[in-house]
């Protein structure tokens, strides 16, 4: 039995990486998946999902632009009549030391990682309240809420904000039958992660292998595994879970870090 049959799900930042993994997993479980992305590549991802006989459509949306978000959500509501699931996944992560970071780079992270979550949730929540049902899943990170690294000050701050937002919103909307939770990924094998290899003077496979050496489970997570977790949080199996952050990192943050 498909756990999300006939549910309407919006996934932001869905063109590739974790967002794509979540969109594919939800489509496989019977959801009508609406992919939001800043670039036209999101349309190809939606087509690839549709070509498998699953249900997916795409909208080119900049989550930092409240007007674009509101317009797209209204189109979704007109087309499908409801939104059952919102996955706030879109995020950016420039690495730069605090003293070197220009204000415009700082502001771009705030716009996408914090305001984007705010804009999409604000656009969707009224319809969820009206129908007395909804699942909001925010993709946060272990970085910020639980651990930190040099060069990730603004990213850490933004994800800490997402965690606080998750807890507070969960309290506000619980009476309306809406669950709000966060996924906190650690090292996940994504195109973005592989693109970081060049900055470390390594090839992608070498870089991924090096990162995996320090993970207790001996490997990086996959986008499919994050998708599986998102499906659980979107399903009725998690109906008594709200305001919670779930770490998916192969056990990485529970160990002492060795120099």
Which residues are known catalytic residues?
Answer: 155
Tokens 């994504």 sit on residue: 190
Contact 119, 61 (CB under 8 A): no
**Helix, coil or strand: residue 87:** strand
Burial class (CB in 10 A: 0-12, 13-18, 19+), 10: buried
SS3 readout for 40-82: CHHHHHHHHHHHCCCEEEEEECCCCCHHHHHHHHHHHHHHHCC
| Euclidean distance between the first and the last CA atom of the chain, given in angstroms as a whole number | 48
Distances (CA, A) of 177 to 164, 221, 241, 243, 258: 20, 31, 11, 13, 44
CA atoms within 13 A on the CB side of 51: 6
């Amino acid at each position: 039995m498909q756990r999300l049959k006939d549910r309407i799900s919006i996934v932001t930042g869905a063109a590739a990486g974790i967002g794509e993994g979540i969109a594919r997993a939800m489509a496989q479980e019977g959801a009508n998946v609406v992919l939001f992305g800043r670039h036209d590549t999101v349309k190809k991802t939606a087509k690839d999902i549709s070509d498998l006989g699953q249900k997916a459509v795409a909208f080119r949306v900049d989550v930092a632009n409240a007007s674009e978000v509101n317009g797209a959500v209204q189109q979704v509501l007109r087309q499908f009549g409801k939104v059952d699931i919102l996955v706030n996944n879109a995020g950016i992560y420039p690495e730069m030391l605090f003293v070197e970071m220009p204000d415009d780079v700082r502001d771009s992270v705030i716009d996408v990682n914090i305001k984007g979550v705010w804009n999409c949730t604000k656009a969707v929540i009224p319809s969820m309240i009206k129908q007395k049902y909804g699942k909001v899943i925010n993709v946060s990170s272990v970085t910020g809420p639980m651990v930190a690294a040099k060069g990730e000050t603004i990213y850490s701050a933004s994800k800490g904000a997402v965690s606080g937002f998750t807890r507070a919103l969960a309290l506000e909307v619980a009476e309306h039958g809406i669950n709000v939770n966060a996924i906190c990924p650690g090292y996940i094998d994504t195109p973005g992660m592989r693109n970081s290899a060049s900055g470390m003077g390594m090839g992608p496979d070498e870089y991924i292998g090096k990162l995996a050496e320090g993970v207790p489970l001996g490997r990086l997570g996959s986008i499919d595994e994050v998708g599986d977790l998102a499906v659980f949080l979107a399903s009725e199996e998690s109906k008594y879970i709200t305001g919670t952050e779930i770490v998916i990192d192969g056990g990485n943050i529970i160990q002492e870090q060795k120099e």
